[in-house]
Structures are given as structure tokens and as C-alpha cells.
Amino acid sequence: MSVVNEETATENEETTEFRPKILAFCCNWCTYAGADLAGLNRMKYPADVRLLRVPCSGRVNPQHVLQALQDGCDAVLVCGCHPGDCHYVTGNFYAKRRLLAYKRLLEYNGLEPERFQVKWISGAEAGKFRDTVIQVCDEIRALGPLDIKKEVSK
């Protein structure tokens, strides 16, 4: 039986680095393929991002974003095909219009803009996917954990 010293316990808590929980909605045809290519090429990026494959970025409902934030995610990233290259022709145009308007609404309600991002990444852009994930993780790590009740009450 070991006894933990209080000083040791507080030192260990202070040295623990904040690891953000980030949910990424990824288009099946482009971004998810880019993430897969990044993995195949053994590109290193933080494991703080959880990928959720969707048929099209246009299928991401703003309610899904809000639910992810309420369920404990520190940030949400929506990634899709470049505008004009959508497998479903206009899906990403709908996503762009709907989600960027929703981002402004979240900002108006007090959420930092870095906590919800929309990016366009094709299947051949594994490096861009890696760089985007690194950038988002660094930004969220700098902001700290999300306290949704505190953010909305500002």
C-alpha cells in the first residue's frame, strides 16, 4: 500500500498537458480520403481529432455541431470538398452558406471563432489535412477547455 504525498499529486496535475477533444466531420469523398492518405504516408499529427465520416459536408446539420459542443468537445471542424468539386454537385455550397452563417451566430453568442471551423480539403491534400489538424489543435490548446455554460453566458 502506497501513500501519495499531496505535493507530488499537485505537481503531477500541473504537468498534465491539456489534450483537447476535437470532432471533425469529414466528407467521404475528399477530406476523409485525404486523412486516409495522410495515415498511409505516415504523416504525424495530433491524435486529439476524432474523425466522423459523412457522405457530404452539406449533410452536417448545425444541430450536430451544437450537440458535439454540448457533449464535451472543445472544438468542431467540418471539412469537405473544395467548392465546385463536390461529388454531389452543390452539397458543399449549401454547407458553406449554412455553416458559415452558423459560425457567426455562435460567435455572436460568445463562442470563440476558433472553436468551430470549416475547411475545404481534397483527397489528394494529405499535407493540408495534417497542417489543418495541427493548426486547429494548437489553437484549441491555447484557448483551453471549453466551458459551454461560461461561454454562452458572456
* 13-38 tens-digit pLDDT: 555 889 999 999 999 999 999 999 99
In a domain, 100, yes or no: yes
Q: Give domain status of residue 10, yes or no.
A: no
Provide the CB-side half-sphere exposure for 15 (13 A, CA): 6
Residue 72 is predicted with a pLDDT of 94
11: in domain:
no
Q: In terms of Cα–Cα distance, which of 23, 95, 36 is closest to 66?
A: 23
The reported pTM is 0.85
Predicted confidence at residue 150, as pLDDT, reads 64
Residue 18 lies in a domain: no
State the average pLDDT over residues 45-59: 96
Lowest mean per-residue pLDDT among 93-97, 106-110, 123-127, 149-153: 149-153
| Residue 62 pLDDT | 95
Rg (CA), the chain: 18
Instruction: For residue 114, tell me if it sits in a domain.
Output: yes
Q: Which class for 148: exposed (0-12), middle (13-18), buried (19 or more C-beta within 10 A)?
A: middle
Q: Is 9 inside a domain boundary?
A: no
Identify the domain containing residue 113 by its residue range: 26-152
Q: What average pLDDT score do residues 109-113 get?
A: 92
The answer as to whether 102 is a domain residue is yes
